[in-house]
Amino acid sequence: SNVECILIGILFKQMVLKPSIIKQIATENGFNLQPPRTRYVDPTDKLILEEESQRIELNGNIDINQFVTGIVIAVHGYEDDRGVFIVKDYCFKDLSIPKTLSPPKENNSVIFNQLECLVNSLTQPTNIQSKQLKVILSNTIRFIVAGNLIESSNRLKDTTNQAKYLTRKMTASSVEAMHSIDELFDKIAAITDIDIMPGVNDPRCHMLLQQPLHPCMFPSSSKRKTTHCLTNPYDFQIGDVRLLGTLGQNLDDIDLQSTIDSRVQILENCLKWSAIAPTCPDTLSCYPYAKNDPFIITDTPHVFFAGNQPKFETRVFQGSNDIQVRLLCIPSFAQSYSCIALNLSTRECYEISFQNETPQLIQ
């Protein structure tokens, strides 16, 4: 005891309010009903460092509410008489140095999100009064759809409990929605590449890594070589710029289990932790992987983004060895009526609002 040392392991956050299947069964049967919570944080929570053979509780200079389960960490401190490790300092794995970007040649842009008004703006940018916005839309080389093409509907859930003969002539509203989406995507794919990521509400397994949506869902747009159905998370490269993004489930889950108020701060923490989704598979569903963890960030991206967030947030993460990563929280279109344009040359980003008939650049 009281001998200073360094321990390396994985954090486990012991939370009394954390959801479990036992609690779900009890709730369904009307036992011990708990009020809905925006967060599962409780003053009695404990932070435990563990590895294959042993575990120890952490205390001291470490804020329990800023961490979640699944983070690899090194802690410096000592064990007290109670068997608790008193943390004096801690650190995470250093990020790898990303590839050096070549000098910019053109101000090409990438646009996140989708909207029929945006399609018209992309096809007819001359009708836009703002010169800056006109340049952005005219130089768009890729359009990324950050999932959740279909809105979650309780009506569809209700029909599953009805007799089949009562619903056999009904047409699901999601089918009509997909036809409309396919028409929009076909217009976009005619002028630029479009990447489609699956979301929680889309007809795909919700477990990460979410597999690409089947091309048969887009009979018109999928015929074009510019239409790409991709995974979630999504790791890709455009020219020299490497981008890494998710649909935001990882940020939502971390927000439930911590007191980190800013979503862009959660995104930055994931980068520091070198983990896209540290809470998988504890509280965030994922496929079982025996050998490799696909959620570990081994190569540092130039842009790290998350979709379906409450609002637009962005910042540049400044790391050691002159590492700079653009962090980007893309707002849910259903709430913001906006999309995000990213300049690949400068990595500057802009929010474009479509609340009015004429798109506007939000400064």
Residue where the block lists tokens 């929280």: 329
Contact call for residues 175 and 122 (beta carbons, < 8 A): no
For residue 2, count other CB atoms closer than 10 A to its CB: 8
Going by pLDDT thresholds of 50, 70 and 90, the confidence category of residue 22 is low
- pLDDT exceeds 50 at position 166: no
Question: What's the rounded Cα separation, in Å, for the pair 233 and 306?
Answer: 9
Strand-strand pairing, 241-246 and 234-238: antiparallel
Contact call for residues 314 and 328 (beta carbons, < 8 A): yes
Contact call for residues 275 and 67 (beta carbons, < 8 A): no
Percentage of the chain surpassing pLDDT 70?
Answer: 79
The pLDDT, as a whole number, for residue 169 is 46
Calculate mean pLDDT across residues 268-281.
Answer: 95
- pLDDT exceeds 60 at position 177: yes
Render pLDDT for 287-339 as a digit per residue (tens, 0 to 9): 888 888 889 999 999 999 999 899 999 999 998 888 999 999 998 877 888 88
The pLDDT, as a whole number, for residue 111 is 78
The pLDDT, as a whole number, for residue 134 is 63
CA angle 178, 190, 117 (to 5 degrees): 60
Residues 6 or more apart in contact with residue 179 via CB below 8 angstroms: none
Listed ranges 85-94, 116-125, 141-150; the one with the highest mean pLDDT: 85-94
Question: What's the rounded Cα separation, in Å, for the pair 14 and 1?
Answer: 24
The pLDDT, as a whole number, for residue 62 is 95
Calculate mean pLDDT across residues 357-361.
Answer: 70
Positions of CATH 3.60.21.50 in the chain: 109-362
The pLDDT, as a whole number, for residue 164 is 45
Higher pLDDT, 124 or 360: 360
DSSP 238-250: ETTEEEEEE-SHH
Which segments of the chain does DSSP mark as H helices, in order?
A: 21-28, 116-123, 131-138, 154-159, 164-167, 173-189, 249-256, 263-273, 333-336
Give bridge partners of residue 59 from the DSSP assignment: 86
Q: What fold characterizes domain 5-91?
A: OB fold (Dihydrolipoamide Acetyltransferase, E2P) (2.40.50)
Positions of CATH 2.40.50.430 in the chain: 5-91
The pLDDT, as a whole number, for residue 63 is 95
Q: What fold characterizes domain 109-362?
A: Purple Acid Phosphatase; chain A, domain 2 (3.60.21)
Render pLDDT for 35-58 as a digit per residue (tens, 0 to 9): 677 889 999 999 999 988 899 999
Going by pLDDT thresholds of 50, 70 and 90, the confidence category of residue 160 is very low
Higher pLDDT, 327 or 165: 327
